[in-house]
Amino acid sequence: MASPATHSRNISRSSRPRSSTRGPLDAPDDPLATESLHVPHASSYIEKNAFSGASFHELDPLAPDDLPETMGKDLSFLLRHNIFHQLSHNDIPPPLRAEFVVLNPGEPLSSSLGTLEKLLTEGRFLVAAHFAASILTSSLITPTDIKIIFSLFYTRLACLELSGNTVLAAQESKALEDLHSAFYYIDSSLDAPAKEDKETQVPENQLRHIVPWPLRVLAVRLQSIGFGDSRRSIGGLYELGLEARRELTRQELEESGRRIWKERLADLGMRCVNALIEMGDLDAAKRSLETLGSSDPSGKDTKFRKALLLLRIGDVDSAQHIFDESNGSKDVVFLQPLLSMSDARYNDAADQWRALYEDTSRDDRDLIAQNMAVCLLYAGKLDEARQLLESQISSHHLFGSLIFNLSTVYELCSDNASEMKGQLAATVASQPSSGHTNIERPNTDFKL
């Protein structure tokens, strides 16, 4: 029989007190209604410069720094070899491949974490995913070193997703099982683990989760894919939203912590909209997006996202109405060429994108250039589209859709497209990586 400290489905333990089913993202007492918020991007949780030595576990700024080592949390169930899939770079163009890194015998943990940091900085996410699993399954890790284990596990899942192996990440995320179980909670006083007996259960407002927030958010989506239940994602996000609201009601919470929880709550709301879009329920996504307006008094970000959703649904008239109401605001100026593209007026759209591209103060000119090239492609101006996309590659602007579109142009304008796409892969491989994008791009990006 397994030890009581082991996380196992075969052990009978009471779960934490069930939260209210009241919607946490549209409650009338909205703590977000008083100030504008910065909503982080989905990938912004990966702090490339944070993974080194003792600082590697600093994944969550609100995580407790003094978790007791004797809390009785044995995470050996996350260190099993059979959890992690074997990885291959056969689907990566040869110029972009890199050999998998192996652990050096006798190398200390801090040195191995520094190697992992270097791989992340170079944008070698597939190699980093392999190396993170190697560390997790090595003798360098003890089952009670929860901060390092969760940080490495998060790195593994995030790197798999960033390298295009979302299905593998979804399967491996199932090893976490139910992140809302009592096993993952401790008493907020940090002097004892959360009680698992019904008679001595810790009040909900005194419980603290030991898993870093970024890993919990990532696991919600991955587990919904892994278990084949899209509704699980919505339920998981609402559970996190309830917890975020509960944290915001704590009187002892400092202002910096309050700001972080507000940002997290706003992020969860947008993730709910994304989850509904992935489920194909665009009408529900539209209604949910409308309820998020109170979190942004200016409404600029919400208006732009709502307009994009309306365009995806096909409601061009409603999207046009939002643009007309914006009075040419810089935040929604993207809508004008997108509306032209929706009406198949590609020459007009190309001119509108060009006007935006000529504004050298913008920091999104690479994205504007790609959209302009797509319009030129549909307008039959292949040479101009090719030159524009190649200039972005030469300027070290690398992202998947840009490479894919240039590969498409090569197929349309040459009988020697395979060789040109191979040369494109070599060009991409020779360029320096910022660590914010995956350098090991799959063959599908190059249409090989």
Instruction: Identify whether residues 160 and 263 lie together within a single domain.
Output: yes
Decide if pLDDT at 218 tops 90. Answer: yes
Model confidence pLDDT, tens digit, residues 70-90? 456 889 999 999 999 999 988
Domain shared by 241 and 148, yes or no: yes
Do residues 110 and 199 share a domain? yes
Q: Is the model more confident about 439 or about 21? A: 439
The pLDDT score that the predictor gives to residue 282 is 87
pLDDT number for residue 172 = 97
Residue 183 forms part of a structural domain:
yes
Tell me if 24 is assigned to some domain.
no
> Which CATH number covers residue 442?
1.25.40
Residue 297 within any structural domain of the chain: no
The pLDDT confidence band at residue 221, using thresholds 50, 70 and 90, is: very high
Claim to verify: residue 272 and residue 398 sit in the same structural domain: no
Q: What is the pLDDT of residue 293?
A: 57
pLDDT (mean) for 195-219: 72
Average of pLDDT values for 338-352?
A: 93
Quick one: 75 and 206 in the same domain? yes
Q: Quick one: average pLDDT of 249-276?
A: 88
pLDDT of residue 203 exceeding 60: no
The whole-number average pLDDT for the span 403-431 is 90
Distance CA 73, CA 185 (A): 10
Lowest mean pLDDT among 55-64, 298-307, 418-427: 55-64
The per-residue pLDDT for 231 is: 87
Q: Do 69 and 218 share a structural domain?
A: yes
Output 51 or 72, whichever has higher pLDDT.
72
Res. 345 pLDDT band, cuts 50 70 90:
very high
- Do 72 and 211 have their domain in common? yes
Percent of the chain residues past pLDDT 70, beyond the cut: 76
Listed residues 285, 304, 331: the one ending a domain: 285
Helical pair 335-342 and 365-378, crossing angle rounded to 10 deg: 20
Q: Which of 101, 171, 162, 96 is nearest to 131 (CA)?
A: 101
Can you tell me the distance from the alpha carbon of 279 to that of 289, in angstroms, rounded to the nearest whole number?
Answer: 15
- Which amino acid type is present at position 184? Y
Does the pLDDT at position 113 exceed 60? yes
Report the C-alpha gap between 394 and 22 in whole angstroms: 52
Q: What is the mean pLDDT of the chain?
A: 80
**244 assigned to some structural domain:** yes
Instruction: Give the per-residue pLDDT at 326.
Output: 76
The verdict on residue 96 lying in a domain is yes
Residues 161-172, mean pLDDT to the nearest whole number: 94
In a domain, 262, yes or no: yes
Within a domain: 300 = no
Query: How many structural domains does the chain have?
Result: 2
Of 295 and 249, the one with more pLDDT: 249
The residue range of the domain holding 217 is 42-285
pLDDT for 33 beyond 50: no
Query: Does residue 318 have a pLDDT over 60?
Result: yes
Same domain, 243 and 370: no
Of residues 59 and 106, the one with the higher pLDDT is 106
In whole angstroms, give the CA distance from residue 190 to residue 70.
10
> Comparing 192 with 419, which gets the higher pLDDT?
419
Last residue of a domain, one of 285, 320, 352: 285
Q: Are residues 156 and 226 in the same domain?
A: yes
Q: Given 285, 307, 322, which residue is the final one in a domain?
A: 285
Q: What's the pLDDT score for residue 249? A: 87
CA distance 303 to 309: 10
Same domain membership, residue 174 and residue 47 = yes
For residue 324, name the pLDDT band (cuts at 50, 70, 90).
confident
Three-state secondary structure along the chain?
Answer: CCCCCECCCCCCCCCCCCCCCCCCCCCCCCCCCCCCCCCCCHHHHCCHHHCCHHHHHCCCCCCCCCCCCCCCCECHHHCCHHHCCCCCCCCCCHHHCCCCCCCCCCCCHHHHHHHHHHHHHCCCHHHHHHHHHHHHCCCCCCCCCHHHHHHHHHHHHHHHHHCCCHHHHHHHHHHHCCCCCHHHEEECCCCCECCCCHHHCCCHHHEEECCCHHHHHHHHHHHHHHCCCHHHHHHHHHHHHHHHHHHHCCCCCCHHHHHHHHHHHHHHHHHHHHHHHHHCCHHHHHHHHHHHHHHCCCCHHHHHHHHHHHHHHCCHHHHHHHHHHHCCCHHHCCHHHHHHHHCCCHHHHHHHHHHHHCCCCCCCHHHHHHHHHHHHHHCCCHHHHHHHHHHHHHCCCCCHHHHHHHHHHHHHHCCCHHHHHHHHHHHHHHCCCCCCCCCCCCHHHHCC
C-alpha 406/C-alpha 404 separation (Å) is 6
Query: Do 280 and 359 fall within a single domain?
Result: no
pLDDT score at 206: 66
Confidence (pLDDT) at 31: 38
Q: Are residues 243 and 365 in the same domain?
A: no
Across residues 26-43, what is the average pLDDT?
A: 37
Classify the C-alpha dihedral 402-404-408-414 as positive or negative.
Answer: positive
In a domain, 317, yes or no: no
The pLDDT value given to residue 189 = 58
Would you state the pLDDT for residue 30? 43
**Which of 40, 32, 29 is closest to 293 using CA atoms?**
32
pLDDT tens per residue across span 364-379: 889 999 999 999 999 9
- Confidence class of residue 201 from pLDDT cuts 50, 70 and 90? low
